[in-house]
Amino acid sequence: MHTLDGVSRSDQYRALGLSTFAFTVCFAVWTIFSIIGVQIKEDLGLSDTQFGLLVATPILTGSVSRIFLGVWTEQFGGRIMFPLQMLITAVAVWLLTSVQTYPVFLLAALGLGLAGGSFIVGVAYTSRWFEKEKQGTALGIFGAGNVGAAVTNFAAPFLVVALGWEGTARVYAIVLAVVAVLFYLLAKTDPVQAERKRTGEGPASTGSMLEPLRDLQVWRFATYYFFVFGAFVALASFLPRYYTGAYGLELTTAGVFAGLYSLPGSVFRALGGWMSDIWGARFVMYLTFIGSLLILFVMSYPQTGYIVQGINGPITFDFGLSVGVFVALTVILGFLMSLGKAAVYKHIPVYYPYHVGSVGGLVGMIGGLGGFFLPIAFGVLLDLTGVWTAPFMLLFVIVLVSTVWMHLAIRRMERRRHPGLEGEKYLSDVPDAPLPKPVGGPGGAPRGQASQPAE
CATH number at residue 281: 1.20.1250.20
Instruction: State pLDDT tens for residues 104-162.
Output: 888 888 888 899 889 889 988 998 888 877 877 888 888 888 778 777 767 777 888 88
Residues 175-223: pLDDT tens digits? 999 999 999 999 998 888 888 777 776 665 555 555 666 777 788 888 8
Within this chain, do residues 285 and 141 fall inside the same structural domain, yes or no? no
132 closest CA partner among 321, 339, 410, 350: 350
Q: Is residue 435 part of a domain?
A: no
Based on the domain organization, do 91 and 225 belong to the same domain? no
| Domain final residue pick, 137, 156, 191 | 191
User: What percentage of the chain's residues is helix, strand, coil (to nearest 5)?
Assistant: 75, 5, 20
Distance, in Å, from the CA atom of 383 to the CA atom of 415, rounded to the nearest integer, reads 46
Same domain, 145 and 224: no
pTM metric for this prediction: 0.71
Ranges under pLDDT 50 in the chain: 1, 421-425, 432-455
User: Is residue 412 situated within a structural domain?
Assistant: yes
Task: Please give the angle made by the CA atoms of 80, 85 and 90, to the nearest 5 degrees.
Answer: 130
Are 128 and 276 members of one domain?
no
CA distance 304 to 327: 19
- 219 and 186, same structural domain? no
| Residue 227 maps to a domain | yes
Q: Are residues 386 and 242 in the same domain?
A: yes
Asked if residue 115 and residue 254 are part of one domain, the reply reads no
Same domain assignment for residues 187 and 214: no
**Buried residues in 336-364 as b, exposed as e (16+ CB within 10 A):** bbbbbbbbbbbbbbbbbbbbbbbbbbbbb
Output the pLDDT for position 256.
75
Say if residue 261 is in the same domain as residue 404.
yes
* 166 and 224 belong to one structural domain: no
253 plus 340 within the same structural domain: yes
Mark which of 157, 191, 225 sits at the end of a domain.
191
pLDDT of residue 448: 34
What is d(CA 411, CA 425) in angstroms, rounded to the nearest whole number?
Answer: 9
H helix runs in 323-355, sequence order: 323-351
- Note whether 143 and 231 are same-domain residues: no
- Structural domains of the chain, count: 2
User: What's at 272, amino acid-wise?
Assistant: G
By residue range, what is the domain housing residue 413?
A: 208-430
